Amino acid sequence: MRLSIFHSTSRALREFFLVLVQGYERAPRVSQLPIYNTLNCISGLVDMDRKEECHHALTALADIERMSLKGKPFSTIEEALYYVKEYTYIQKLRFGDNLSILIDIPKSLYHYYIPKLIIQPLIENAVIHGTSKISDKGIIAILGSTDGTNLQICVKDNGPGFSREFLEDFSKSFQQKPATSYGIYNIDKRLKLYYGEDHGLILQNNENSGACIIVRLPLKLVEKPIEKAGNLK
């Protein structure tokens, strides 16, 4: 039975590893996806004869890797949400009913452009440092809004929240690289270089419990940052 499942998913497996090989041949990189945890999860699906879920997970993994390897640095919110949904599917496989991920972004914002790979790392951060630290069911919400000039995407969770020391360290992180949370730091630095000091990440705690990371960007209908950010490295 195990062999038959591997046979039925071999096309997705070949596609996934082809994407990885092509990417590593072009340039070394660090994936935003927890690949080893995901592959362990898929191995468990094979053992349980859950063929359709196994195939979906492999296809989602290949799609996300392919997107991350493309040279295109921006995507519309609609495109980004497709990969966010694939990503959350994999997270749900890992944590089952212990994790709920909600997305509430108005369709009127779907045609605006954002830098790629800024939402998935924030979800992973919410899982690792938030929902995985509590005994209750973890809840992550991804919200979108605009004031007519700026776009805000908020990723919030019901975990223990940020410590005061962490928030203080992060507020200084653009001048001095922090000792931890390189992923959040790198996203904030990238956004500030693209769009200026008034944009980037805002970290805060929710009123009741949990952490909230707000991505603040200018509304952009074109696939490029503002002119001052041309020297991004």
pLDDT tens across 132-164, in order?
Answer: 999 999 999 999 999 999 999 999 999 999 999
**21 lies in some domain:** yes
> Is 182's pLDDT higher than 80?
no
- 105 and 41 share a domain? no
**65 lies in some domain:** yes
**231 lies in some domain:** yes
- 107 and 65 share a domain? no
- 51 and 126 share a domain? no
- 110 and 225 share a domain? yes
> Is 229's pLDDT higher than 60?
no
pLDDT for the residue 105: 96
For the chain, give the percent of residues with pLDDT over 70: 71
- 20 and 105 share a domain? no
Q: Which residues of 74-102 are buried (b: 16+ CB within 10 A; e: fewer)?
A: bbbbebbbebbebbbbbbbbbbeeebebe
Query: Last residue of some domain: 21, 36, 71?
Result: 71
Tell me the CATH number at 105: 3.30.565.10
How many domains, the chain?
2
- 18 and 128 share a domain? no
pLDDT for the residue 143: 97
The tens digit of pLDDT for each residue in 14-69 reads 555 555 545 544 444 434 455 656 666 677 767 777 778 877 878 877 777 777 77
> Is 197's pLDDT higher than 70?
yes
Q: Coil, helix or strand for 65? A: helix
Which are the contacts of 47, defined by CB distance < 8 A and separation ≥ 6?
A: 2
- 129 and 55 share a domain? no
**39 lies in some domain:** yes
- 60 and 110 share a domain? no
pLDDT for the residue 173: 58
Amino acid at 133: K
- Mean pLDDT for all residues in the chain: 78
- 46 and 140 share a domain? no
pLDDT for the residue 146: 95
Judge if pTM exceeds 0.95.
no
**86 lies in some domain:** no
Q: Sorting pLDDT into bands at 50, 70 and 90, what band is 191?
A: very high
**81 lies in some domain:** no
pLDDT for the residue 233: 34
- 126 and 231 share a domain? yes
Element (H, E) at 160: none
For the chain, give the percent of residues with pLDDT over 90: 37
- 103 and 166 share a domain? yes
**156 lies in some domain:** yes
116 or 141: which carries more pLDDT confidence? 141
Q: Sorting pLDDT into bands at 50, 70 and 90, what band is 231?
A: very low
pLDDT for the residue 73: 85
**84 lies in some domain:** no
Please give the residue range of the domain that contains residue 189: 98-233
- 145 and 58 share a domain? no
Helix (DSSP H) and strand (DSSP E) numbers for the chain: 8, 7
